[in-house]
Structure 1
Amino acid sequence: MPPPRPARTPLPPRWLLLALLLFALAAGIGLRDPSPPDEPRFVLAASAMVDSGDWLLPRRGREFYAEKPPVFMWMQAAAWTLVRDWRVAFLLPSLLAALATLWLVRRTGARLWSPRHGPWAAAALFVCLQFGLQAKRAQIDMVLVLMTTLSLCALLRYLLDGYRRRWLALGLFAAGLGTVTKGVGFLPVLVLLPWLWPGLRRRWPRRPGARVAGDAALGLAAFAAGAAVWLAPLGIALLRQPDPALQAYAHELLFRQTGTRYVNAWHHVQPPWYYAQVIATLWLPGALLLPWLLPAWWRRLRRGDPRHALLLGWAALVLLFFSLSPGKREVYIFPALPALCLAAAPLLPALLRRAGVQWLLSGWLLLCGALLLGAAGSGLSDADWATRLGGTRGIAPADMRAFLWALGALGAAAWALAAAFRGPRVGSGLLLFTALLWASYGLVLAPALDDSSSGRALMRDVSARIGVQGELGAIAWREQHMLQAGRPMQEFGFKQPLHLQWREAADWVAAAPERRWLWMPEPALGPCVDRGRARMIGHASRQDWWLVPGTAVDPQCQAPPFAGDID
């Protein structure tokens, strides 16, 4: 009799998988405002573009914002012109980039391995925690990952499928565009290094020298064209406007925020092994499979499989590149995750037939459920604990209860899915739990925290204190406060030294002290304020924030230089 067929490890049907991904990633759009650290500054710059009509140079208040190129802010501003609602528009670029990245990974996985392996690659990427976190945030990194994944997939198609030049041009154009989106967008070009490895080169057909030279010229032109999307108009502006502020902006962005930041980082300094803990946490539950994946990958590398050599070699180079810099953040290695999911795709169906893998992934679901239920139960049963936590974060009691009940429901769902999807079907359980996790985050968890995390509640109190006729100025301000002020807010520079901000602020207040107020964190109060007449409104961004009436500012006082900038 014929041998028994191995148990299948099915994924949900394609239409259901697509519906799950769309539901999970889009849930909650329009239900929250931008939250620190990065979202408010990008939205502030994008809204300034819309209001001023100047889309070339992003601004933070009256100053140029020179820490990131403007491409992501262009996308947010363009989204606003379509939907006319910042609560929706600021998250649209990340949502669309996440969906496009999943589509690229599925399509590339199907081409590299087989049509049935494409959905496995996309599902593997979706269930990793870092992907969902970035897809639900309005940060540059999700858009960057779309561009690096597009570039990498096109370059793989060029190298593995007959050196067709259109794929080379697309790959390097995307790398150039990614570079002016965030400086490390050139990383896909590193895939050419494992391709040059002699052991692999023997497996590719030889190329005539003239053909190689032509491809190199085309690639350079395509990369330059992608980068020129922003660098060309910037260069024209620099030639036409000999403005020292514009020159300083270009120098800060093109040199200090790129090369200097990589070689001699001044913040986010971490040890060389930092990314091991990122992989072990933010790449869960995929990281749980590394004990099986690593030996299998090694066997394929020893056999000289060019597909695994290019994917894994490139991911290793990305990890090495960022590990060599003293400045490290968890999002830096995010571009390597889609490549590793592509490399894992042909192995996943067989791995999920292993009892050890099934037990481990079921244990992950049970652990998530236990942690969520434990957090919810302790908060709901211990009112003092929940009150203290809510007070620290500025969360209203009703919002805190909604947050805890949502955690409890999600934990119960994790346990139910672990019980219902056992054995080879545990992969489907993981997909459903991940979809519920990000849907719950968007529909309940993030909105429950929004009043406090966005600064809206704090600025609502400020607005109530100063009245309809009051005018508000800000020293050492934060972007979220300007977004949520509900009225024009006078600012005196973001990076300008505090004593210079104070000099401008004192003159501004002196012109109408009865109706003008100053808003600042406690370290910026200085000696010119009568603290007995000022009021501490709330705590945010690790600072106590004060509202100072104009009549409490001594008009004769000259603020001396402060000890240091406020973090």
Structure 2
Amino acid sequence: MSAAAPATVQERRTFWLLLLIAVVVIGAGIGLRDPWPSDEPRFTLVAKHMVESGDWLFPHRGSELYSDKPPMLFWLEAASYTGLGSWRIAFLLPSLLAALGCLLAVYDLGSRLWNRQVGLYAAAGLLITFQFVYQTKRAQIDPLVMFFLTAGNWGLLVHMLDGPNWRAYWLGCFSAGLGVITKGVGVLALLLVLPYLVAVLGRWQGVSRMGEGAWWRWLLGPVALLVAVALWLVPMLLGAKAHAGDPAYAAYVNDILFHQTAGRYGNSWDHHHSPLFYVPIVLFTWLPLSLTYPGTLPRWWRALKAKDARILLPLSWIVLVLVFFSIPRGKRDVYIMPALPMLALVTAPYLGELLRQRWLRIAGLVFIGVMGAAMLLVGGAALIAHPRFTTELASGRGFEDGGHALWLMMVTIGASQLLVVAALRVRHAVAAVAAGLAVMWVVWSLWAYPILNDSSSAAGVMQEVREHLAPGDQLGMVAWKEQNLLMLDHSAVDFGFTRPWRDQYAAAVAWQAQDPSRRWLFALDPALAQCVDRSKAVALGHANRREWWMFKADAVIPGCLPNEGVDRLPAAAQDD
């Protein structure tokens, strides 16, 4: 196989239109909201500290070192802010760029290994998948991990199926290394070597053979991976050595290199699920692409029987990724998201044929119709009948009008999707599915983001805090969450984040007592227990399903400390 032939004018127009749609759908709403829990405020707070402190090597969450994740996403957010000057744009920009990078990679692979039409189908199939858009519209690490793994896969597949192309191979391994310093699992891209060996030894069609004297070039791939990792690892270790007198830096090195990687995989401490956890994920969160399974499964089987290495390598890699993440007890739906671009790639050669089949078009219409009907019914019921679950949700969000605008938005989306289904019907089902999903993502982003932002981001609560601070006042934080410090936009003192609330409270009260007339404490309601006279405190309101207070020294009950057990939120609220 060789590189794709030059694109026609129509193919170029279609490609750029697809990218434009991707920018609109995924980028809609950027600038209209602040980071939302659980992960977004944490990562943006770390990036903000990098910009303000100038320390880009050791991430901090408040006064503590943050060792849960390598720094790649934090670097990109901080760099985006440095260039743009707006956190509302900067924190979401890496995810948008990662999404576009994945689309470009699968488009190029489809074009190289088959033709440009297959490349367009691969990119469109990925863009239309629910989990792909949902996650890339958020500022988590997983979209970036997906991109680096997809870039790694691109390099290896170009080399193994459209090669030899040693530069692509080395670039793919380097990208895998960047994935390692993003979340640690970037090395999974190298699993493609296993099905490649099967294809070479089994003389599969379409596999590239490198010649007997190429063994030393293969070894440069792991070297490229290690070079990428060393870009962070070497300066970090040297920096930690320079802080040898501070045990916090030694603990940081130990935690991020061992506890958060091999330790977390071998002995997961959260998100425990059964080995079959990912079965509903690949069925339902990968809709509507997963609707093609009845058509692609037998075609994949025939391709494997015909020894088509173009299907063997990416399909085998998907299976290996699923097996890898099914072994540990800790599982989350986003862990297997890097398999999505490869699924779109191996589905694309058959999409043209499948989309002409009536059963698939009907399934697509049913999917959009059910989604639209559900949104219309829930929104309409909330506006008319006010069922308990909708009123509780509105109350939890602090909506004084019962969330009227939110429910009206759901009615609008649902009605629009049903209208699209009725207008386009089976003949134009593909357009109906694409339009129905695009309407949902764009309307949700432009309508819901402003409505939900204050309650989701703590922006409203922290605005209240700033209004109560007189010039010269100081603020201490107790049992705080990342979104509180991020949205404060004012200097503050924290007494640790992972430290037990009882200890935080004791240290905070002692700090406040040193200058009681000018020092306020900001705290979560349960952390105060019975140690604060709430009649003398300021109730800040409800945000992120929590009640928040601020108070001066006159509200503190002398000698009182919260019980030792009062240091955790209810399980339902811990991740917010």
Q: What TM-score do you get using the length of structure 2 for normalisation?
A: 0.91
Code of the residue aligned with 1:407 in structure 2: it is: M
Q: Distance in 2 between matches of 1:441 and 1:12?
A: 28
Which region of structure 1 is more displaced relative to structure 2, 43-52 or 426-435? Answer: 426-435
Q: How far is the alpha carbon of 1:520 from its aligned partner?
A: 1.9
CA 1:368–1:205: 2 relative to 1, 3 Å: closer
Which region of structure 1 is more displaced relative to structure 2, 434-443 or 87-96? Answer: 434-443
Residues 99-248 of structure 1 correspond to what in structure 2 (within 5 A)? 99-197=100-198, 201-203=202-204, 204=207, 207-212=210-215, 214-242=216-244, 243-248=246-251
Q: How far is the alpha carbon of 1:469 from its aligned partner?
A: 5.5
**Is the 1:512–1:550 Cα contact (8 Å) retained in structure 2?**
no
* Structure 2 partner of 1:392: 396
* Structure 2 partner of 1:3: none
Q: Distance in 2 between matches of 1:281 and 1:549?
A: 51
CA 1:224–1:420: 2 relative to 1, 3 Å: same
Three-state SS of the structure 2 residue aligned to 1:30 is coil
**Is the 2:479–2:524 Cα contact (8 Å) retained in structure 1?**
yes
**Is the 1:534–1:549 Cα contact (8 Å) retained in structure 2?**
yes
Code of the residue aligned with 1:52 in structure 2: it is: S
* Structure 1 partner of 2:4: none
Q: How far is the alpha carbon of 1:387 from its aligned partner?
A: 4.5
Q: Distance in 2 between matches of 1:114 and 1:229?
A: 37
**Is the 1:514–1:551 Cα contact (8 Å) retained in structure 2?**
no
Residues 289-328 of structure 1 correspond to what in structure 2 (within 5 A)? 289-328=292-331
Q: How far is the alpha carbon of 1:370 from its aligned partner?
A: 0.5
Which region of structure 1 is more displaced relative to structure 2, 400-409 or 334-343? Answer: 400-409
Alignment equivalent of 1:377, drawn from 367, 380, 392: 380
Q: 1:168-202 CA deviation, whole Å, 9 max, x = no partner?
A: 10110000111101111111111111112267642
Three-state SS of the structure 1 residue aligned to 2:271 is coil
Alignment equivalent of 1:252, drawn from 255, 263, 266: 255
Q: 1:215-265 CA deviation, whole Å, 9 max, x = no partner?
A: 232112111111112112112213333132111001111111111111111
Q: How far is the alpha carbon of 1:421 from its aligned partner?
A: 2.9
Three-state SS of the structure 2 residue aligned to 1:397 is coil
Code of the residue aligned with 2:129 in structure 1: it is: C
Q: How far is the alpha carbon of 1:374 from its aligned partner?
A: 1.0
Which region of structure 1 is more displaced relative to structure 2, 388-397 or 361-370? Answer: 388-397
Is 1:538 aligned to 2:541, yes or no?
A: yes
Q: Distance in 2 between matches of 1:517 and 1:318?
A: 50
Structure 1 unmatched runs, 5+: 1-9
Which region of structure 1 is more displaced relative to structure 2, 554-563 or 129-138? Answer: 554-563
**Is the 1:352–1:424 Cα contact (8 Å) retained in structure 2?**
no
Which region of structure 1 is more displaced relative to structure 2, 477-486 or 50-59? Answer: 477-486
* Structure 1 partner of 2:8: none
Three-state SS of the structure 2 residue aligned to 1:182 is coil
Code of the residue aligned with 2:86 in structure 1: it is: D
Three-state SS of the structure 2 residue aligned to 1:183 is coil
Q: How far is the alpha carbon of 1:555 from its aligned partner?
A: 4.7
* Structure 1 partner of 2:7: none
Q: Distance in 2 between matches of 1:360 and 1:218?
A: 47
* Structure 2 partner of 1:447: 450
Q: How far is the alpha carbon of 1:394 from its aligned partner?
A: 2.0
Which region of structure 1 is more displaced relative to structure 2, 269-278 or 10-19? Answer: 10-19
**Is the 1:506–1:555 Cα contact (8 Å) retained in structure 2?**
no
Percent identity, please: 41
Three-state SS of the structure 1 residue aligned to 2:540 is strand
Three-state SS of the structure 2 residue aligned to 1:347 is helix
Q: How far is the alpha carbon of 1:383 from its aligned partner?
A: 4.9
**Is the 1:123–1:431 Cα contact (8 Å) retained in structure 2?**
no
**Is the 2:64–2:497 Cα contact (8 Å) retained in structure 1?**
yes
* Structure 2 partner of 1:495: 498
CA 1:215–1:185: 2 relative to 1, 3 Å: same
Q: CA RMSD in A?
A: 2.2
Code of the residue aligned with 2:430 in structure 1: it is: G
Q: Distance in 2 between matches of 1:520 and 1:437?
A: 37
Q: How far is the alpha carbon of 1:396 from its aligned partner?
A: 4.7
Q: Distance in 2 between matches of 1:205 and 1:548?
A: 70
Structure 2 unmatched runs, 5+: 1-10
Q: 1:80-99 CA deviation, whole Å, 9 max, x = no partner?
A: 11110111111111111111
Three-state SS of the structure 2 residue aligned to 1:546 is strand
CA 1:466–1:550: 2 relative to 1, 3 Å: farther
Which region of structure 1 is more displaced relative to structure 2, 230-239 or 251-260? Answer: 230-239
**Is the 2:521–2:552 Cα contact (8 Å) retained in structure 1?**
yes
* Structure 2 partner of 1:28: 29
Is 1:458 aligned to 2:461, yes or no?
A: yes
Three-state SS of the structure 2 residue aligned to 1:116 is helix
**Is the 2:502–2:567 Cα contact (8 Å) retained in structure 1?**
no
Q: How far is the alpha carbon of 1:532 from its aligned partner?
A: 4.4
**Is the 1:510–1:555 Cα contact (8 Å) retained in structure 2?**
no
CA 1:525–1:12: 2 relative to 1, 3 Å: same
Which region of structure 1 is more displaced relative to structure 2, 56-65 or 373-382? Answer: 373-382
Q: Distance in 2 between matches of 1:198 and 1:168?
A: 17
CA 1:241–1:490: 2 relative to 1, 3 Å: closer
Q: What TM-score do you get using the length of structure 1 for normalisation?
A: 0.93
Three-state SS of the structure 2 residue aligned to 1:197 is helix
CA 1:90–1:384: 2 relative to 1, 3 Å: same
Q: Distance in 2 between matches of 1:495 and 1:107?
A: 45
Is 1:39 aligned to 2:40, yes or no?
A: yes
Alignment equivalent of 2:433, drawn from 430, 435, 444: 430
Three-state SS of the structure 2 residue aligned to 1:117 is helix
CA 1:171–1:215: 2 relative to 1, 3 Å: same
Which region of structure 1 is more displaced relative to structure 2, 454-463 or 379-388? Answer: 379-388
